[in-house]
Every structure is written in C-alpha cells, then in structure tokens.
Chain A
C-alpha cells in the first residue's frame, strides 16, 4: 500500500529551529510537497522537492532523499505564528497526490 508517516505533534521554543520528518512509501514518485495549515483554514503551499537535496526559502527549508523515501521540513527562527499543522504530501506515479496526517507544531514563548 501507499503511506506517508510524520510525527503527530511537536513542541518547540520561539527563536529555535525545528525539523519535521516525513517518510513515504508510494507507487511511483513525481514530487514531494510541504503545506502549512492553521486551525480552521485551508492548507497553503510551502515547498516542493522533486530532486534529492535541499531547497531553501527564507526561514523554511525542505530536504529530500528519494532513495530513502525521506524528507524533512526545517523551520528556523521560530515565531509564534508558526504554530500550525504541517502536511507532507507526495504526488505518485499515477498523479494522485496523497497526504500524511500532518504534524501539529506548538511554538511556546
């Protein structure tokens, strides 16, 4: 079957760095995505990786290793507004896009 695993919850301190891991097993691979979702709102796109390596976008970076079926999202200089759910998603060989259940991040002062 196809599945995406990510931790259910994480807590970090304002100003710190946090890494959210994602492992996946899918039939085919056409890209990995990270989204942010605040409570009661729609998800918003953060990053896209299709080749191995690190993609950096301001305070957010995302890493992909296709051979290991592994990705992480790195958030630097955490702010209170970063408290949200972070969703890992994979576009499969058939162009379905499947999502993990999400990681709820709590940022404390």
Chain B
C-alpha cells in the first residue's frame, strides 16, 4: 500500500530534550515536506526537500532541522524543543511535479511541557 509513515503518533516531552520524528514513504517520491498545523493558522511549511541531499526552508523553520540522506526518509529534528513547538505535525510526499498532490502521514501530536 502506498503510504507515508510517521512515528510517533503522540509524544509528550520536556523543554530542551532533543527529539526526532521519523517519516518514511514507499512511493519513490522526490519531494518531501514537513508541516505544522495550529488552530486558526492552517498548515505551515517547516522544511521541504526536492530530492536526496537537497533541503530548503519553509515559512517556519526556526527551531527545526531536517536531513535527506535517503530518498524514502525525511526525519524532523527538534534539538531543543520549547513549548511554542507544541503542535500537530504532518509529513507529506509527492512526485516532483506535484500533480498528484501530497500524500500525508497520519500526523504526530507533540506536546512540550
């Protein structure tokens, strides 16, 4: 089944404790992206990647890191999480043209206390 797999689904952590949210896709998609979704603000793009070893900042990259060492994986790293990073996070992938739209992962609900 074509899918984007994110883990974990839920995470509660403390301020300053480094964490990684994993994302993997099995569709051989070139384009991958991370979004956060907050009430009233919609989906905001954190980082995106056009292909292996090619990443670029979205609209809200501060406090986040990504890497794209393999085509299928695109982890999101929070080096020192803060409470304002409490949010619902989605990983998504698409073909290079984007014509088929994004396939989204199931989401990660992160709470930083």
List residues of chain A with CB under 8 Å of any chain B CB: 30-31, 33, 35, 41-48, 50, 87, 89, 91, 94-102
Contacts of A33 in B (CB 8 A): 98, 101-102
Q: Which residue of A lies closest to B101 (CB)?
A: A45
Q: Check A91–B98 contact: CB distance below 8 A.
A: yes
Interface residues on B, range: 20 to 34
Contacts of B50 in A (CB 8 A): 95
Contact of A44 (CB < 8 Å), options: B31, B56, B104, B107: B104
Contacts of A94 in B (CB 8 A): 56
Beyond A42-B105, A95-B31, A99-B43, 16 additional pairs, beta carbon < 8 A: A31-B99, A33-B101, A42-B104, A42-B106, A43-B43, A45-B101, A46-B101, A48-B98, A91-B98, A96-B45, A97-B102, A98-B59, A99-B35, A99-B42, A99-B45, A101-B40
B33 at the interface (CB under 8 A from A): yes
Contacts of A42 in B (CB 8 A): 90, 104-107
Contacts of A91 in B (CB 8 A): 98
B48 at the interface (CB under 8 A from A): yes
Provide a sorted-by-A list of 23 A–B residue pairs whose CB atoms are within 8 angstroms.
A30-B98, A31-B99, A33-B102, A42-B90, A42-B105, A43-B102, A43-B104, A45-B101, A48-B99, A48-B100, A48-B101, A87-B42, A87-B43, A89-B43, A91-B98, A95-B31, A95-B48, A95-B50, A96-B45, A96-B56, A97-B33, A97-B102, A99-B45
